[in-house]
Amino acid sequence: MEILIGCNRLKDFKNNSQKFIEEVTKIIQREIKLLLKDGVKYYKIGEYAYYAVELFQNEELLAYSNDNTIRSEKSPFDHVFYDSDIEASFAKRFENDENVKVYVKLPRWFRIDTPISSYNSYWALVIDKNGEEKL
């Protein structure tokens, strides 16, 4: 409702509510992608294989690249940090799936509000579904 009221385009919503919702969804998804991309820093520390990852609210994660990361061609980073073998398996699957265009592991504090409760998503992916990119 805040978007509908705040954008001053109620007339467009009344004319074709489905199209309006689809277009607003595309804009929100595009902005989320930019936020994810711009809110992440990844860099090497010194001469060693340690990396610091700062996500969104300066939450820092440290990872030793030989122990709990995998090399990545599809994430914003050259390595993806994982907490478990299951997460490593997911990351490898994302790397090998031609429909996955880009993916990122989300920080623990990142939550999505739903009508029932707050959902903690572990991953965000952009996939190619029938020629259209979906987040």
Do residue 57 and residue 83 come from a single domain? yes
pLDDT in tens, 17-30: 788 878 877 887 77
pLDDT score recorded for residue 44: 55
Q: How many CB atoms lie within 10 A of CB 33?
A: 16
pLDDT score recorded for residue 116: 78
Do residue 76 and residue 127 come from a single domain? yes
How many domains does the chain divide into? Answer: 2
Structural domain harbouring 21: 1-38
Size of the chain in residues:
135
Instruction: Please report, as a single letter, which amino acid is at residue 29.
Output: Q
Mean of per-residue pLDDT scores for the chain: 75
Q: What is the mean pLDDT of the segment spanning 32-41?
A: 60
Do residue 24 and residue 44 come from a single domain? no
Do residue 80 and residue 103 come from a single domain? yes
Is residue 117 within 8 A of residue 84, CB to CB? The reply is no
Please determine, for residue 108, whether its predicted confidence score (pLDDT) is greater than 90.
no
Phi-psi region of 16 (alpha: psi -120 to 50; beta: other; left: phi over 0): beta
pLDDT score recorded for residue 57: 44
